[in-house]
Amino acid sequence: MTQSPRDGRSRARRVTLADVARKAGVDKAVVSRVVNADPLLNIRPETRARVNAALKELDYRPNVAARSLRTAKAGTVGLFIPDFANPVYAEIITGAETAAADLGCALMVGSSTAGRGARSYLDLLGQGRVDGLLLAGGTITGEEQATLADRGLPWLFVNRRGPGSGRHVILDDVLGARVAVDHLLDLGHRRIAHVGGPPGADTAHRRHDGYATALRSAGLEEDPRLVVQDVYGPDGGVQAVRLLLDGPEPPTAMFVANVASAIGVLSALRARGVSVPEEMSVVAVHDLPLAEHLIPPLTTVRMPLRALGARATKLLLSVPADHPVEEVVREPIELVVRQSTAGPRR
């Protein structure tokens, strides 16, 4: 605790509403209304001009704490993610950040990587630090959810459906998966494996759905030996390749639920001497700048992650906390064909 009087903040006293009011020769209530563009304010143009001049001259900025205290609104939305290192969340964050800024709000992102998990993040939020909380991916315990509800904090699950919450915004993962699998089917593949996400993940569930649906539409039956579930990430992909290639009748193509897993899939295939796409086609969900530079460049399905983050932010801020939100973001999903997919060798 440095309690020095010269700690840099006290340098110049901040400009307050009262300063502006004095300079403009009006009451601070008037200044407040001008600042907030109160539509009910009926003010003489010359008075408004005087106020605006004073505002500008003194470079007035409202004190956020005072405003928050008075209005019981923080002007901030929280976003909780599992890990900053996951580029999928980077896209969601960017979308949320943009939307929040458009609404005049700040965004406060927290992750569980910092160690203590969602609980300690919730503690930090305290009372009034955020107006609502976006919960992206990861897992929230029942206790944590109860804590949220206790605090009267509106929350919204992003990219996953919460346990019976009825408050979530997701992407059309079923369609995304279908697009990927249809691409493989169009190329002529019939033995198509699915490198799925972890059993607990809602996105994994929905992508598996899309995979099954696509096969069915093509008159194919799902072969359980061709479906592997593992963590999203390179290690999951490595593991999946081992299981799939050691099976009795290996696939000719793989639909990978996540681009991070696909990185592991490509490296494991190479390590085993399986060439892509000649001997194995690979397509994954989520496009990243990286995908183009993998070896070979990876065919992906681009999902509207930014739109997801933006939409979630808007809904969190506009829909009352006790109303249900169950939205699927309908921005276009795009197949990005690169060099990891080709027809099966015959």
For residue 48, state whether it binds its own copies (rule: CB under 8 A). no
For residue 37, state whether it binds its own copies (rule: CB under 8 A). no
Tokens of 175: 């369609």
- 92 φψ region: left (φ > 0), alpha (ψ -120 to 50), beta (else): alpha
Name which of its own copies, DNA, none residue 217 binds, using a CB cut-off of 5 to 8 Å depending on partner kind. Answer: none
Query: φ and ψ at 163, to 5 degrees?
Result: -65, 100
Lay out the site mask for its own copies across 179-218 (x = CB under 8 A, - = otherwise): ----------------------------------------
In the three-class reduction of DSSP (H, G, I as helix; E, B as strand; rest coil), residue 167 is classed as strand
At CA 322, angle to CA 316 and CA 327, rounded to 5?
A: 50
Q: Which is nearer to its own copies, 185 or 195 (CB)?
A: 195
Enumerate residues 57-96 that contact DNA by CB under 7 A: 60, 62-63, 66-67, 69-72
For residue 40, state whether it binds its own copies (rule: CB under 8 A). no
Q: Which is nearer to DNA, 27 or 334 (CB)?
A: 27
Alpha-carbon torsion (43, 48, 49, 51), positive or negative: positive
Calculate the alpha carbon distances from 178 to 111, 117, 332, 334 in Å: 31, 34, 14, 11
Enumerate residues 110-139 that contact its own copies by CB under 8 A: 110-111, 113-116, 120, 124-129, 131
For residue 94, state whether it binds its own copies (rule: CB under 8 A). yes
Q: Are 301 and 273 in contact (CB under 8 A)?
A: no
Q: Are 155 and 148 in contact (CB under 8 A)?
A: yes
Q: Which stretch binds its own copies (CB under 8 A): 146-154, 176-184, 211-219, 242-250?
A: 146-154
Q: Give contact residues for DNA (rule: CB under 7 A).
A: 13-18, 25-30, 32-33, 35-36, 38, 41-44, 47, 60, 62-63, 66-67, 69-72, 127
